[in-house]
Structure 1
Amino acid sequence: MPVAEPSFSNTHLDVLTGRQLDLSVPSSHGHIVVFAYEAWGHARPLCNLAARLVQSRNIIVTFFTTPAFYDRVMSELLRNFDADGLGLDRIRVITLIHTGMHSLDNTVLNDSFAQAFDKLAEGDPVQCVHTGVTHEPVSPPKAVIIDFFGLPLLQAVRRLSGVGEPIKVFVWFAGAAAVVFRLCAPERLGGIGNLRAKSEEEAIRKHVRVEQAAGDIALGNDGAVVRIPGLPAIYDYEIEPQKILGGRALTGAMCLAAYEVFETCDGIILASPESYEPETTAALRQWMAGTSRPVYCAGPMIAQGTHADSVEKGQSESIAEVDDFLESTMKHNGKRSLLYISFGTVYWSMEPKKIWTFLDVVLELRIPFIMSHSSRWATVPEEVADKVSRSGNGLLVRYSPQQHILNHPATGWFLTHGGHNSIIEAICAGVPMICWPFSFDQPLNAIHLTENLNVAYEIFQGRTGPGLKPIHRLGKAPEGTLDSVKEEAREILLNAFGEDGIRKRENVQALRQRTLDARSKRGTSTHDIHVFLDTL
């Protein structure tokens, strides 16, 4: 079933589409191009960064996106501004041609980016595919901020940088710094090393495609010990604790592109604050400094404008039901009594019976909950929907206003896949978590939150198989059965809504303050954004 597109307020969009770009901005103040692929977890925080850039300096930002994301980008930008919209007129949103079947099928999109960027660099007008609006020339871009696996984008910019002043290319990474080490760092720092060379070697040895070999190496399957700065030692197979959609070859292709982008970029911009992974971030900066390249921590990427809450609520067709349920829970169960459940807009379990088993325990314990299931692969069986409806203790919605729910006083816990945006949003709302990760930075986030920060529980019922060693934090290998899921769910939920959960909530409050402080006038992320702009 396809994901229902969120609805948007015409009034909000009129504020954006009816504006005119302030072309009086002197060219010396700079022009930055930003672009993230069609993954909302990448594009949404990039909207926040674009807003912070124009709020920090009198510059122009050209925000490239796709027709499918145009309305969402426009609305998310609006969430970052006050009623006067000061600075909003200096962000140009321009859509490119995208005919791919999924977010990693970007051949046409990459070509469209190259053509549009060429026009920007040459001082020619650029037309938005979605609106048909032609945007007049401004000063040539001084820097480009691209998605971490956008190798064709980086190559396109490099081709144009051969003439005139070089255009700097920075990697936009809306994920944990720890995963950069895993994908790109030398082996002595806990990384894979040269992923391209190793994948080509492995492909020949196993008679498989290079992309398949890269996926196998990156996600791990040998039981090798991985030591990443700032994290406890883990086994390589913990980086993919659940079977993932799309297969390893698709993931491997992205990992290969990411490796080469990180190897050749001019610097990295992280969507998290330095306080989230201080040891890992310090090690990343030290490693990158060896090649004279900076790392900037720009987070938290949380909208804080006048329209932030109202626009987000307008994106969900279920907002009336959500608000009614939140208020009812507050009235009958009190503060911090609700469990919010979401696996993000993309991920969904290939073993959904485990999710329904977890819900059975939630219903049995009479914990009120809201579950968002916006992934296009998510289908709720009729018998599950009926059971939830009859209980009167749960609400199932396709697309929920996540930040709104997390900030409501009724919300006590968040069951999450551990995506980076969800983690930071929960921290900023002061809500502790139960992490059920799939792959990439999600399990690394889960380990960091449970082992280092003590603000979360981790669900271990994931991939099992012959030869897998016990995870040291368990002392035994996960069983992966529905009975073990039920047992683990009961134990975690009773702890979460008990004395141990109270301690984790106190811990997350301290982390929340450090995270929000990073965005203050003298905060670390504010400092990093200004230093980044100074280099241009």
Structure 2
Amino acid sequence: MDTHHIATLLPPLWGHVVGYLHLVVQLLKEDPSLVMTIVQHNFMVDQMKKELSACEYDSSRLRIIGVGRKEFVASDPPTLQLIRGWSDVVPILARGSPWPKPHTIVYDFTVGGHVFKPTKKLIPNTKSLIWFCMNAAPLHTILSEFDSAAIIDQILADEVLRAGRTRKQIELEFFQCMNGKDKLIGEIVSTLGCPDIFDYERLSWAAGPPGPLNRPLLVSGHLLAKGADGYITNSSASVEPVAVPFLRRVYNSRGQTLFAVGQQTHERYFQKGAAFREPITNKTIVKFLDDAYARLGKNSVMYISFGSLFFPTANPKHVEAFVETLIASDFPFIFALPRLGNNMKGGLSKAFIERINATRKGLICAFWLEQRPILQHEATGWFLTHGGINSITEAVLLGIPMLMWPNGTDQPVNAIYFSSGPHPIAIELLQVRTGAQLLGPSLRFGESVKITGTIEDAITEFQTVFRDIRGPKGERLRANTHRVAASMRAGRKTDALVDVRRLAQFGRPLEDMARL
């Protein structure tokens, strides 16, 4: 049987990696003639191998090539090391030994644009796909809806519109607005499958306006969108019945292909009622959850995590108010702080953390926590999340409804989508927004709901939300979560599986296909 080779470039961002690993497991199972190469930064490789160690797959058909230094060096960012390392690996891939030259190369949207053309010169006959580790609706908003290069060129060409700015300055402002303009103007915008909103409602800026680091990531994505043969999204028509069919038509008209491969996490989570349990290794966490279950019963604890990288550093006082309101409401919680470089406190002071932990009503954890096992515990009933698709997937499959405090990129769109419609599974927190540009009336909830961003209004919102989720509204959200989980599981066996199988064959030479 002729071997088909897919090579992939992934960034050192765990949220962009973990879903792809489980997609790889699916692909290798669906096509026994497929081999896969992943190029990644060295400091992420061990974590990838640990995640894969719990999966069943033919490891002889997957190789992970690590590049760059294992230690973090601020003067030499990991992404730049990764791009240099990819340039060293491409000639090896092009030689086609021991595996054939890749027929398809998958580029993560945040890094691939910077190496796409040089790679195409060295391996000219490969197909190219964009890995967009998010839902389909944000894919359209972030990469497909606007021709960024044409709009930015138009601004640059007009002295009045340019207003003395450089291209980089214009790009920075354009990409942080996500409305096809370089400023927010309070206009009504549409997002696939979501209610219409004001343009500032599609943003959050919990860590402040997107900074210089975001610009090259989105520039990369838009460069790829110009030349790639298609997109891979972590969604399916079963979960996004509006966005996925719409994007299939749009990309087909552009000569591109959409692969909606479904939400991705460990395959055992897709087995309804499965007895699979991952252990919680930290004894303090186990005792806290067991004690809460004994005292308050099932679904009594809130798990809080903004992911491994995000934190609302622009408004830490809102975070403190959220925690204080939980304490006053006798609502037990576990708060996993992010890995912001060597700073595990995010925007919280050591004194604040110690004072809260001394109450024994909640735990703020300045150490790594295993999210999936905590969500599996009978005591855990709610999840405050930034709204990344990996966290959403894990929560939904475990029947955990959410509160959403989005930061940026896809997260505000996810918060709108999953808190809207006839069967919402989340509540989006509104009074946690920062920056004058993001405040004002809400089109979704009527102009009587005004987003002020003040601590006082945030506390009032927190109190209302905590009361509501412990009553009938909370039970409706929980029931809806099980409904969406059923859709995810159904999609994995139907339309998403069709796309996984198509992806496994994509780019294979026609003569190989004829022999299958």
Same-fold call, TM cutoff 0.5: yes
The one-letter amino acid paired with 1:231 is C
Q: For this pair of structures, how many residues does the alignment match? A: 479
The one-letter amino acid paired with 1:229 is L
Deviations 1:184-229 (A, max 9, x none): 33xxxxx3x2211222443561322323322322332222221122
Distance 1:41 1:121 in 2: 29
Distance 1:466 1:411 in 2: 36
Q: Which residue, 439, 445, 453 being the options, matches 1:480?
A: 453
Q: Look up the SS of the partner of 1:360 in the other structure.
A: helix
Counterpart of 1:160 in structure 2 is 122
TM-score (norm. length: structure 1): 0.84
Counterpart of 2:103 in structure 1 is 142
Task: Check conservation: 2:203, 2:438, Cα contact below 8 A.
Answer: no
Q: Which residue, 30, 45, 49 being the options, matches 1:74?
A: 49
1:35 corresponds to 2:9? yes
Residue 496 to residue 341, structure 1, CA distance change in 2 (3 Å):
same
1:206 corresponds to 2:176? no
Task: Check conservation: 2:9, 2:107, Cα contact below 8 A.
Answer: yes
Give the fraction of aligned pairs with identical amino acids, expressed as a percent. Answer: 24
Deviation at 1:363, TM superposition (A): 0.4
Instruction: Out of 409-418 and 266-275, give the one that drifted further.
Output: 266-275
Deviation at 1:384, TM superposition (A): 2.1
Deviation at 1:55, TM superposition (A): 1.4
Counterpart of 1:330 in structure 2 is 293
1:362 corresponds to 2:326? yes
Residue 216 to residue 361, structure 1, CA distance change in 2 (3 Å):
same
Deviation at 1:466, TM superposition (A): 6.5
Q: Look up the SS of the partner of 2:247 in the other structure.
A: helix
Distance 1:168 1:311 in 2: 39
Task: Check conservation: 1:219, 1:237, Cα contact below 8 A.
Answer: no
Deviation at 1:309, TM superposition (A): 11
Counterpart of 1:265 in structure 2 is 228
Deviation at 1:310, TM superposition (A): 9.7
Counterpart of 2:390 in structure 1 is 421
Q: Look up the SS of the partner of 1:525 in the other structure.
A: helix
Counterpart of 2:23 in structure 1 is 49
Counterpart of 1:395 in structure 2 is 363
Residue 503 to residue 63, structure 1, CA distance change in 2 (3 Å):
same
The one-letter amino acid paired with 1:456 is A
The one-letter amino acid paired with 1:502 is E
The one-letter amino acid paired with 2:108 is D
Deviation at 1:334, TM superposition (A): 0.7
Q: Which residue, 242, 255, 266 being the options, matches 2:205?
A: 242
Distance 2:347 2:439 in 1: 31
Residue 467 to residue 428, structure 1, CA distance change in 2 (3 Å):
closer
Task: Check conservation: 1:214, 1:249, Cα contact below 8 A.
Answer: no
Q: Which residue, 172, 175, 186 being the options, matches 1:215?
A: 172
Task: Check conservation: 1:39, 1:103, Cα contact below 8 A.
Answer: no
Q: Which ranges in structure 1 are unaligned for 5 or more consecutive residues?
A: 1-25, 125-136, 186-190
The one-letter amino acid paired with 2:481 is V
Deviations 1:456-495 (A, max 9, x none): 1111120242795411134243111111111110111111
Deviation at 1:68, TM superposition (A): 0.7
Task: Check conservation: 1:54, 1:88, Cα contact below 8 A.
Answer: no
Counterpart of 1:445 in structure 2 is 414
The one-letter amino acid paired with 1:356 is E
Distance 1:468 1:478 in 2: 5
Counterpart of 2:512 in structure 1 is none
Distance 2:437 2:93 in 1: 55
Counterpart of 1:128 in structure 2 is none
Counterpart of 1:347 in structure 2 is 310
Distance 1:109 1:100 in 2: 13
Q: Look up the SS of the partner of 1:374 in the other structure.
A: coil
Residue 382 to residue 469, structure 1, CA distance change in 2 (3 Å):
closer
Task: Check conservation: 2:299, 2:378, Cα contact below 8 A.
Answer: yes
Q: Which residue, 479, 485, 498 being the options, matches 1:512?
A: 485
Task: Check conservation: 1:212, 1:250, Cα contact below 8 A.
Answer: no
Residue 467 to residue 158, structure 1, CA distance change in 2 (3 Å):
closer
1:297 corresponds to 2:272? no
Q: Which ranges in structure 2 are unaligned for 5 or more consecutive residues?
A: 178-183, 509-516
Deviation at 1:437, TM superposition (A): 0.7
Residue 76 to residue 514, structure 1, CA distance change in 2 (3 Å):
same
Counterpart of 1:5 in structure 2 is none
Deviations 1:386-443 (A, max 9, x none): 3322221212222211111112221111101111111111111111110011111101
Task: Check conservation: 2:197, 2:444, Cα contact below 8 A.
Answer: no
Residue 66 to residue 105, structure 1, CA distance change in 2 (3 Å):
closer
Q: Look up the SS of the partner of 1:213 in the other structure.
A: helix
Distance 1:241 1:454 in 2: 20
1:179 corresponds to 2:138? yes
TM-score (norm. length: structure 2): 0.87
Residue 104 to residue 507, structure 1, CA distance change in 2 (3 Å):
farther
Q: Which residue, 334, 337, 354 being the options, matches 1:386?
A: 354
Distance 1:242 1:228 in 2: 18
Residue 209 to residue 404, structure 1, CA distance change in 2 (3 Å):
farther
Residue 79 to residue 311, structure 1, CA distance change in 2 (3 Å):
farther
Distance 2:481 2:37 in 1: 36
Q: Look up the SS of the partner of 1:470 in the other structure.
A: strand
Deviation at 1:243, TM superposition (A): 4.4
Counterpart of 1:279 in structure 2 is 242
Counterpart of 2:426 in structure 1 is 456
The one-letter amino acid paired with 1:332 is R
Counterpart of 2:65 in structure 1 is 94
Distance 1:459 1:102 in 2: 37
Deviation at 1:152, TM superposition (A): 2.1
